[in-house]
Structure 1
Amino acid sequence: MARSRTCAPDSAARVGATPAQGLVVLVLLAGLALAFSRWPAAAARVGILSVALGFLACGVWRVLLVLCSGHRPPSPPRPRRWPRYTILAALHDEVAVVPQLVARLAAIDYPRDRLEGWLVLEADDLPTIQAVRDSRLPPWLGLILVPPGRPRTKPRAFNHALARVTGELLTVYDAEDAPDPAQLREAAARFAADGRGRLACLQAPLRIRSRGDRPGFLERQFAAEYAALFEVVLPALTRLGLPFPLGGTSNHFRTDVLRAVGGWDAWNVTEDADLGFRLWRRGWRLGVLSRPTWETPPATLE
């Protein structure tokens, strides 16, 4: 079966090294082998010094990110017109979370006549399809069935749904997400305030919602990692004008730009990170939001 990849092959993720990269690696390995065979003591000193300088550079970079993350742009003004907004949420074998997801999406604070939403399911996921049909969906929220095909991935499902999207702006959520009800309004305002018209995507911060008063070890680790990435690293990279890997959820796009770059790479297991760099490679900017999406981490290793 031929791969029905939407994004252009020259911009999709590559597997393996190019011949030039392989040659560089071979030359470096040969040089190291020669140095350690001819001048072992000097080579060892240079190696230790290089590792120390590498750790120092990493430390300086982290300090720079912390300093840059302290500056946050002011809240944008309300746009003159609320653009049409599309929400996509892909589910697979997730019957139990359907009522929760529908309730959280229904709580989103955005003009209902400017809102469109789709729950995207595989056509053979009959239990989840039935659970969605048994739910009381808001009028703006519908169901899209993805026909059989390969690969069976979330980006392929989103690409299938992208053909039916009518919103000027688009965001994606996971089944377990609890987005801040005002997140769409903030994103729409930030896109409208982009005077240069080069802002293509906004990443909302992901935050951990504890299961109880005394979070466990895994919950604390997830919370620390998410805080470091979404509250420090990504805002700093935004201020520096650098690309960053998007999270797997709560990405807000200009739909026309998303289509122009070919959507998601259905054959990429980190399609979100790949898309962030492909947008930047095409000359688009990435940004961050302040309104979070809450997630519940696993409580155990099982």
Structure 2
Amino acid sequence: MNRCVLHKMNEAAVFAEDKLIAVGDIADTYSYAPIKAALNFGFLQRKEYVAFLAKEGYELIDVRSEEMDKSYIEECEVSHMNSFLYLPLRKLPTGELLIAVADPFDEKLAVSLTVKFKCPLKFVATSDLDITWMAHTMRGGFFVKEAVFSLMKKDPDSSGLITFTDSQLYFLFGFIGLTVVLLILFFKPTFIAINLFSSVFFLFSILFKLYLALTGSKSELHEVVSKEEIKNVNEATLPVYTILLPVFKEDKLIRKLIWNLRSLDYPQAKLDVKLLIEEVDDKTLNAVRNLDFPANFEVIVCPAHQPQTKPKACNYGLHFSRGEYLAIYDAEDVPDSDQLKKVVCQFRKLPEEFVVLQGALNYFNKNENLLTRMFTLEYSYWFDYMLTGLETMDIPIPLGGTSNHFKLKKLIELGAWDPFNVTEDADLGLRVYDKGLKVGVVNSTTLEEANNEFFNWIRQRSRWIKGYMQTYLVHMRNPAKLVRRVGWKGFFGFNFFIGGTSFTFLLYPILLGFFAMYLIFKWTFVNKLFPDWVLYISIFNFIAGNVLMIYVNMLAVFKRRYYELILFSALNPIYWLMHSRAAYKGLWQLITKPFYWEKTNHGLSKLSSTSQVVTHD
């Protein structure tokens, strides 16, 4: 047992040296203790190592309950403690400094710490994860504040910290006040005008989406990377690639996450994988602790700080990221195995202004129930047609929440993600365009778990729509400035795609109500209120809008050959009602708690993702 563990640690040490060579000029700051490399890169199980320590007479102490002299911890950098897995505790009566370590046999660490603290040391063994937790929570304060406030300091106009600016409130309440006055003085013509505007806007928004979908369906991706190019990639030339895995209470998905990561076709020595866990999330931390097989990621603990959002955790993880490129995956994601290589090849072919590539998202449990079928239709037309249409027309692309691939340096220059925006991905995609840069689409798919439960879906979708509203408010603070930066085409595209999406969902049940009153209940006051020509226009717009959205959903099945879903497109009007329910909930939360991140539960599907991975060229 002892020989086996030591052999694995020696292997890990050699592997870590190879990793340093791969990293190149940042090697001085990118090093690991052998035990760190052994645990993080899959050479050793944590349980195996704990058993080895016990056999050698080292029982693990609970470092969280130990008495500490914080003055010693304040002498150490969080990145150094995290990489070499040590934590200074206190001076003993003997004059020795008690230090908790994950590897009490690390002689090099003992020598360097003796020089650092200028006193004799005594090592006691503890869990590497507890050291990580303590190091980040006690010394990560500066980095977490940067994660929260960096964008606001660098580019306050792009920060969602303020939901409504004074000018927006003046405009909003002034518009409401003017409308009320007009309704009091000129009720019928004002009501007719509102009805006509609403129905025309509804139809135009749908026509715009149809046009985008048709444009996307006709245009081939000009950045397509072929299988032959992937085969010819020289792995020695591949850069270090950081993968951020933000999780919160995802203890049930940790095992699946590890297997999904192992399917990636990319040199292990050049993968810099960070599992981002919140300080308060002991469930996920313990799930990693209790794994009975090796992991292949480094745990980063994000110290508690409001707002507790995914973008805040990702921003914190950036401080410990080393790659030239960076990708984000969710815990349940199953990316195409060649996705990272394909992104590298595509970035090398594209002009420098392309700083982010969006992979397509779809679902491995598409046929689980009615909701997953409708969700799959929506994602298929969105990622397979809409985004390619936006790219072809050079209109700002709102990023999806996962499978975003960035040039790391450019991401940091942009101020990274807005921690106060609950659709930080869409906001960042628009900020890329706002700064004169470009978003591309990569012909690679990541499979996710489609939400299969109604109230869980409402929680998720209300957060997304609330985030779209936040994003719209942020970027419309100065419309003239936005026009100068993205042009009139980008400006109208943004208004109808981001603003129009939320407004259409809010409008839909109102238009449906008028339609139902007129056709079903035959209420006479409807005829008195509206002339026939107004009713005909409104009804036509409403029916035409629904028919066109059904058609767009039908288009969605062809690229992936999901022909069994085509008849479910007819249920889109019902699916839109669900969106309206979520939109009003999102609007209420935008007013009452704009930064609240409503958690979506994952791991509810009974279907496996392992047999569903499909590669698209």
Q: Is the 8 A contact 1:13 1:274 kept in 2?
A: no
Please tell me whether residue 296 in structure 1 is matched to residue 465 in structure 2: no
CA shift, 1:26, in A, is 4.1
Match of 2:553 in 1: none
User: 113-122 or 198-207: which moved more?
Assistant: 113-122
Separation of aligned partners in 2, 1:44 and 1:19? 28
Residues 54-73 of structure 1 aligned to structure 2 (within 5 Å): 54-70=201-217, 71-73=219-221
Separation of aligned partners in 2, 1:250 and 1:16? 27
Equivalent position to 2:253, from 73, 90, 97: 97
Residues 65-214 of structure 1 aligned to structure 2 (within 5 Å): 65-70=212-217, 71-74=219-222, 75-76=224-225, 78=229, 81-133=237-289, 134=291, 135-138=293-296, 141-195=297-351, 197-210=352-365
CA shift, 1:107, in A, is 0.7
- The 3-state SS of whatever aligns with 1:104 is helix
CA shift, 1:31, in A, is 4.1
- The 3-state SS of whatever aligns with 1:7 is helix
- The 3-state SS of whatever aligns with 1:294 is strand
Match of 1:8 in 2: 152
Identity %: 30
Match of 2:570 in 1: none
CA shift, 1:117, in A, is 1.1
Instruction: Provide closer, same or farther for how the CA distance between residues 35 and 127 of structure 1 changes in structure 2, counting only shifts above 3 A.
Output: closer
Q: Is the 8 A contact 1:6 1:264 kept in 2?
A: no
Q: Is the 8 A contact 1:243 1:280 kept in 2?
A: yes
CA shift, 1:219, in A, is 1.0
Instruction: Provide closer, same or farther for how the CA distance between residues 161 and 59 of structure 1 changes in structure 2, counting only shifts above 3 A.
Output: closer
The one-letter code sitting in structure 1 at the alignment partner of 2:370 is F
Separation of aligned partners in 2, 1:93 and 1:45? 50
Q: Is the 8 A contact 1:84 1:166 kept in 2?
A: yes
CA shift, 1:168, in A, is 0.6
Q: Is the 8 A contact 1:204 1:293 kept in 2?
A: yes
Residues 219-238 of structure 1 aligned to structure 2 (within 5 Å): 219-238=372-391
CA shift, 1:20, in A, is 2.4
Instruction: Provide closer, same or farther for how the CA distance between residues 301 and 49 of structure 1 changes in structure 2, counting only shifts above 3 A.
Output: closer
Match of 2:403 in 1: 250
Q: Deviations over 1:191-235 (max 9, x none)?
A: 11112x111111111111127xx5311111211221122122211
Separation of aligned partners in 1, 2:345 and 2:425? 23
The one-letter code sitting in structure 2 at the alignment partner of 1:68 is T
> TM-score scaled by structure 1?
0.88
CA shift, 1:89, in A, is 0.6
The one-letter code sitting in structure 2 at the alignment partner of 1:257 is K
Q: Is the 8 A contact 1:179 1:292 kept in 2?
A: yes
CA shift, 1:69, in A, is 0.6
Separation of aligned partners in 1, 2:163 and 2:309? 21
User: 179-188 or 3-12: which moved more?
Assistant: 3-12
Higher relative contact order (CA 8 A, sep 6+): 1
Question: Which one has the bigger strand percentage?
Answer: 1
CA shift, 1:241, in A, is 1.5
- The 3-state SS of whatever aligns with 1:17 is coil
Instruction: Provide closer, same or farther for how the CA distance between residues 260 and 30 of structure 1 changes in structure 2, counting only shifts above 3 A.
Output: same
- The 3-state SS of whatever aligns with 1:292 is strand
CA shift, 1:124, in A, is 4.6
Instruction: Provide closer, same or farther for how the CA distance between residues 27 and 178 of structure 1 changes in structure 2, counting only shifts above 3 A.
Output: same
Please tell me whether residue 283 in structure 1 is matched to residue 441 in structure 2: no
Question: Which one has the bigger helix percentage?
Answer: 2
- The 3-state SS of whatever aligns with 1:148 is coil
Question: Structure 1, unaligned stretches of length 5 or more?
Answer: none
Q: Is the 8 A contact 1:108 1:181 kept in 2?
A: yes
Q: Is the 8 A contact 1:208 1:295 kept in 2?
A: yes
CA shift, 1:105, in A, is 0.3
The one-letter code sitting in structure 1 at the alignment partner of 2:317 is A
Q: Is the 8 A contact 2:241 2:325 kept in 1?
A: yes
Instruction: Provide closer, same or farther for how the CA distance between residues 291 and 76 of structure 1 changes in structure 2, counting only shifts above 3 A.
Output: closer
User: 264-273 or 174-183: which moved more?
Assistant: 264-273
Separation of aligned partners in 1, 2:259 and 2:319? 26
Instruction: Provide closer, same or farther for how the CA distance between residues 32 and 146 of structure 1 changes in structure 2, counting only shifts above 3 A.
Output: closer
Q: Is the 8 A contact 1:76 1:189 kept in 2?
A: yes
Separation of aligned partners in 2, 1:51 and 1:115? 51
Q: Is the 8 A contact 2:221 2:388 kept in 1?
A: no
Instruction: Provide closer, same or farther for how the CA distance between residues 167 and 26 of structure 1 changes in structure 2, counting only shifts above 3 A.
Output: same
Equivalent position to 1:216, from 345, 369, 393: 369
User: 145-154 or 250-259: which moved more?
Assistant: 145-154
Residues 255-266 of structure 1 aligned to structure 2 (within 5 Å): 255-266=408-419
Match of 2:394 in 1: 241
> TM-score scaled by structure 2?
0.45
Question: Structure 2, unaligned stretches of length 5 or more?
Answer: 1-140, 456-617
User: 102-111 or 20-29: which moved more?
Assistant: 20-29
Larger Rg belongs to = 2
CA shift, 1:61, in A, is 0.7
Instruction: Provide closer, same or farther for how the CA distance between residues 22 and 176 of structure 1 changes in structure 2, counting only shifts above 3 A.
Output: same
The one-letter code sitting in structure 1 at the alignment partner of 2:266 is Y
Instruction: Provide closer, same or farther for how the CA distance between residues 19 and 110 of structure 1 changes in structure 2, counting only shifts above 3 A.
Output: same
The one-letter code sitting in structure 2 at the alignment partner of 1:246 is L
